[in-house]
């Protein structure tokens, strides 16, 4: 495997001025008035200048190639004479891409925590680290639904369900926005990566509003400052110039008063359509807008009022965030501080999903009994290398990484022999494992298997987009930059042929062979899977222990040891269904030019098709046992604007402290329209010591029972009966079914 940090970032990106906007807010000045006064102070040319990245296109590209990606914030619209800092953008979502920031578990892993309170703390840490390194805009709130697990960027989002993804994304946004602006992306219907520059998504009004937009809306309602459009097109129009999405829905219907930025280079095709469609900034260079907008305004093709609107949106958010963040929390010392690493470890423990935990010698295999262990075999190439996820825009360069092997060695100490075998020869690995008291097999994906995809930047590709004319000097600079970059970092980073969508959901055949060989030699075998959703059906019955580590962040090895040795309960529950095979999933073609998104995907589609999953949505084992009793719903008759309280008593009946996620699903009885067989309407994570119980009360707005009615272009709650099903995962056979009637 390649080193995920071949080209380390500098210790600290260049210091950036935050301007003096905060000073204008003294004495209780009204921020909106401050923004409007600033708008008045800007000349028409300066207002236009806010609408594109400050760097020149060709030299900016050359710098990206040569200096690396995300080495300092990308700036758009700085006006030093008025103290306007401009947007100073850095990427996410597993941490801040600048410098040597804390690397948290990827968003999909954090989705598995089902813990918005924890996610808000993670967001707070990311926001503080962004601000400490000169950024004022964090582009790490990625909430495109996981429509199919083969999506290369699955790891960047929180899961497959609109409510769950929305609640997690809103929590991340709230945390980040204590310090800097957050940017939610990619708006909308972006869930195939190889095809992202070409695919047109056909989606009905109902499916768009009911399935693919609610999580964005929740995050807009939480006050997100910036929305990033998507590369793909929807119903025949590119998202970067999509009037219905950007203006009618986002700005007018949802009342979004922040700014829309493009999904980066090549996120805009037509300046007039972009401006009229509602795109406020073309990032990150002087590309299409910078060259065409002044003329379009002069000719009256784009009204000045549109430019003023974009400028006001941008200035408003910069004023709003100019005073954000406690200076003590945003000094450079917070970056990868002990506290943030501890948080990364807590998030990783909370995200680990224990899928199988069968008894070996009378007790479940996890936790391993550390007091009787004399030796452990840790098998697999991924056990001893950092495996943090994609190395494209979401790359984070932490100062150190605890691998699974390092985590186990540190936790077990010198008394326990920890043997490592890289698994390249399954029979040799089986001998090593057979000789030990337990075998831990680490298998799965890396950044070479899945991630963001960049097509080759050849003339055919570039020809689809408007690029400014290239002067001779630009060409020479670009060629030099490309040459130096090839010398320095051949395999990974921005132009590497890595990642993309997955062609298979199974493990590599050699990984499957390794698991089978170790399992045959060592009864106490636990398989640890790295990466995103995996089809495990061919082999999971062979092993008593199976857990999903995802891409667990810089402290992942410690978190794994915490769970395997029983120092912490694995807190994760699947944020997406793990199917038995590809049957029953929506069609997925990485090379598609057209795709239709339907009403059902994920666990909803599998259940509607009568196909049992390998592991249901919301599933995960604890190392203790819980009961849910006394489920009741009040009131039982409600109106469409009401709130239902679903209560249940949760008791830890085992002898270890642990966590459970109480989940409530709805089912419409006798509905006149097609509905998913069941859908998530609420959840809460609880932590309980042995023998303790707690009454959990989920407040479910009746609005969560609504469907989108195209006849009235709005959500409606059908007056009928609904089951509210409270359990521990979407197919929990012990779930309690209560009923409510909507009148």
Residues at the site binding ligand BGC, with contacts judged by CB under 6 A: 91, 139, 185, 263-264, 393
Q: Rank residues 183 and 416 by Cβ distance to ligand BGC and give the closer one.
A: 183
Residues forming a β-bridge with 443 = 529
How buried is residue 649: exposed, middle or buried, by Cβ count under 10 Å (0-12/13-18/19+)?
middle
Least separation in angstroms between CB 40 and ligand BGC: 32
Q: Is the separation of the CB atoms in 142 and 106 below 8 Å?
A: no
Q: Rank residues 111 and 139 by Cβ distance to ligand BGC and give the closer one.
A: 139
Q: Rank residues 139 and 451 by Cβ distance to ligand BGC and give the closer one.
A: 139
Q: Catalogue the E-assigned strands of 538-692.
A: 545-548, 594-597, 626-634, 637-638, 643-652, 658-669, 679-688
Q: Rank residues 143 and 644 by Cβ distance to ligand BGC and give the closer one.
A: 143
Q: Rank residues 102 and 393 by Cβ distance to ligand BGC and give the closer one.
A: 393
Those residues whose C-beta lies under 8 Å from the C-beta of residue 470, and which sit 6 or more positions away, are: 58, 478
Computed on alpha carbons and rounded to an integer, the radius of gyration of the chain in Å comes to 26
Least separation in angstroms between CB 268 and ligand BGC: 12
How buried is residue 597: exposed, middle or buried, by Cβ count under 10 Å (0-12/13-18/19+)?
buried
Among left, alpha and beta (phi > 0; psi -120 to 50; other), residue 266 is left
Least separation in angstroms between CB 119 and ligand BGC: 19
Least separation in angstroms between CB 518 and ligand BGC: 38
Q: Which of 664, 574, 641 is nearest to 613 (CA)?
A: 574
Angle between helices 556-564 and 404-412 (to 10 degrees): 50
Distance CA 41, CA 73 (A): 26
Read off the tokens for 513.
């062979």
CA 496 centroid distance within chain: 22
Those residues whose C-beta lies under 8 Å from the C-beta of residue 118, and which sit 6 or more positions away, are: 110, 346, 347, 350
Least separation in angstroms between CB 587 and ligand BGC: 23
Q: Rank residues 299 and 458 by Cβ distance to ligand BGC and give the closer one.
A: 458
Read off the tokens for 656.
């270890």
Strands 353-357 and 74-76: unpaired
Q: Rank residues 139 and 162 by Cβ distance to ligand BGC and give the closer one.
A: 139
Least separation in angstroms between CB 537 and ligand BGC: 32
Those residues whose C-beta lies under 8 Å from the C-beta of residue 46, and which sit 6 or more positions away, are: 79, 82
3-state secondary structure of 157: coil
Those residues whose C-beta lies under 8 Å from the C-beta of residue 91, and which sit 6 or more positions away, are: 70, 97, 139, 140, 393, 394, 395
Q: Rank residues 267 and 571 by Cβ distance to ligand BGC and give the closer one.
A: 267
Q: Rank residues 185 and 306 by Cβ distance to ligand BGC and give the closer one.
A: 185
Least separation in angstroms between CB 497 and ligand BGC: 16
Where do we find the tokens 């590309």? 287
- What number of other Cβ atoms are within 10 A of residue 492's Cβ? 23
Apex 285 CA angle, 200 and 173, nearest 5: 70
Least separation in angstroms between CB 91 and ligand BGC: 5
Q: Rank residues 226 and 534 by Cβ distance to ligand BGC and give the closer one.
A: 226
Q: Rank residues 185 and 340 by Cβ distance to ligand BGC and give the closer one.
A: 185
Least separation in angstroms between CB 263 and ligand BGC: 5
Q: Rank residues 139 and 499 by Cβ distance to ligand BGC and give the closer one.
A: 139
Residues forming a β-bridge with 650 = 628, 694
SS (H, E, C) 308-356: HHHHHHHHHHHHHHHCCCCHHHCCHHHCCCHHHHHHHHHHHHHHCEEEE
Least separation in angstroms between CB 67 and ligand BGC: 14
Query: Which residue of this chain has its Cβ atom nearest to ligand BGC in the complex?
Result: 393
Distance CA 542, CA 438 (A): 15
Least separation in angstroms between CB 51 and ligand BGC: 17
Q: Rank residues 115 and 156 by Cβ distance to ligand BGC and give the closer one.
A: 156
Least separation in angstroms between CB 672 and ligand BGC: 40
Q: Is the separation of the CB atoms in 563 and 349 below 8 Å?
A: yes
Least separation in angstroms between CB 138 and ligand BGC: 10
């Amino acid at each position: 495997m390649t080193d995920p940090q071949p080209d380390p970032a500098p210790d600290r990106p260049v210091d950036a001025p935050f301007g003096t906007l905060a000073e204008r807010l003294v004495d209780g000045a009204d921020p909106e008035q401050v923004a409007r006064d600033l708008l008045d102070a800007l000349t028409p040319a300066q207002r236009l200048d806010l609408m594109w990245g400050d760097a020149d296109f060709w030299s900016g590209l050359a710098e990206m190639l040569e200096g690396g990606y995300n080495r300092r914030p990308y700036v758009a619209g700085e006006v030093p004479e008025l103290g306007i800092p401009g947007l100073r953008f850095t990427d996410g979502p597993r941490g801040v891409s600048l410098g040597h920031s804390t690397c948290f578990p990827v968003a999909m892993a954090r989705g598995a925590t089902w813990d918005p309170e924890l996610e808000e703390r993670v967001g707070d840490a990311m926001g503080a680290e962004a601000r400490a390194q000169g950024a004022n805009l964090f582009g790490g709130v990625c909430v495109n639904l996981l429509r199919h697990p083969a999506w290369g960027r699955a790891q960047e989002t929180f899961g497959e369900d609109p409510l769950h993804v929305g609640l997690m994304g809103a929590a991340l946004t709230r945390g980040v926005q204590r310090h800097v602006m957050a940017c939610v992306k990619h708006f909308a219907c972006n869930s195939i990566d190889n095809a992202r520059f070409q695919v047109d998504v056909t989606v009905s009004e109902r499916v768009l509003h009911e399935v693919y937009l609610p999580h964005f809306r929740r995050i807009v309602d939480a006050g997100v400052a910036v929305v990033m459009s998507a590369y793909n097109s929807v119903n025949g129009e590119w998202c970067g110039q999509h009037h219905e999405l950007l203006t009618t829905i986002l700005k007018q219907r949802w009342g979004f008063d922040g700014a829309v930025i493009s999904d980066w280079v090549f996120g805009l095709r037509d300046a007039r359509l972009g401006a009229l469609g509602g795109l406020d900034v073309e990032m990150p260079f002087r590309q299409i807008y910078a060259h065409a907008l002044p003329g379009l305004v002069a000719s009256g093709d784009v009204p000045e009022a549109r430019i003023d609107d974009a400028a006001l949106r941008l200035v408003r958010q910069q004023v709003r965030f100019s005073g954000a963040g406690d200076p003590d929390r945003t000094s450079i010392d917070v970056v990868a501080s002990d506290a943030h690493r501890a948080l990364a470890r807590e998030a990783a423990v909370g995200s680990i999903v224990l899928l199988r935990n069968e008894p070996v010698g009378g007790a479940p295999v996890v936790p391993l009994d550390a007091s009787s262990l004399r030796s452990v075999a840790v098998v697999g190439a991924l056990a001893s290398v950092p495996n943090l996820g994609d190395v494209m825009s979401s790359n984070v360069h932490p100062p150190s990484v605890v691998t699974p092997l390092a985590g186990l060695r540190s936790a077990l100490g010198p008394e326990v022999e920890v043997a490592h075998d890289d698994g390249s020869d399954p029979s040799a690995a089986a001998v090593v494992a057979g000789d030990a008291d337990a075998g831990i097999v680490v298998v799965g994906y890396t950044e070479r298997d899945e991630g963001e995809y960049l097509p080759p930047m050849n003339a055919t590709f570039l020809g689809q987009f408007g690029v400014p004319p290239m002067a001779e000097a630009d060409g020479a600079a670009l060629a030099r930059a490309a040459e130096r970059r090839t010398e320095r970092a051949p395999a990974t980073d921005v132009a590497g042929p890595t990642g993309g969508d997955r062609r298979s959901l199974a493990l590599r055949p050699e990984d499957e062979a390794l698991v089978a060989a170790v399992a045959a030699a060592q009864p106490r075998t636990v398989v640890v899977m790295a990466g995103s959703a995996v089809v495990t059906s061919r082999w999971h019955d062979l092993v008593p222990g199976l857990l999903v580590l995802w891409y667990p962040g810089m402290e992942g090895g410690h978190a794994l040891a915490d769970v395997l040795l029983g120092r912490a309960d694995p807190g994760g529950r699947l944020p997406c269904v793990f199917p038995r095979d590809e049957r029953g999933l929506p069609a997925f073609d990485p090379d598609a030019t057209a795709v239709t998104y339907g009403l059902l995907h994920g666990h909803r589609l599998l259940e509607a098709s009568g196909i049992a999953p390998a592991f249901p949505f919301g599933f995960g084992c604890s190392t203790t046992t819980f009961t849910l009793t006394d489920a009741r719903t009040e009131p039982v008759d409600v109106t469409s604007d009401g709130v239902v309280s679903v209560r249940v008593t949760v008791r830890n009946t085992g002898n270890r402290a642990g966590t459970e996620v109480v989940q409530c699903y709805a089912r419409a009885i006798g509905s006149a329209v097609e509905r998913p067989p069941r859908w998530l309407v609420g959840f809460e994570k609880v932590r309980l010591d042995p023998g303790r119980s707690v009454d959990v009360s989920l407040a479910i707005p009746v609005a969560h029972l609504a469907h989108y009615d195209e006849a009235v272009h709005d959500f409606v709650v059908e007056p009928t009966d609904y089951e509210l099903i409270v359990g521990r995962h979407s197919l929990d056979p012990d779930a309690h079914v209560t009923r409510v009637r909507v009148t």
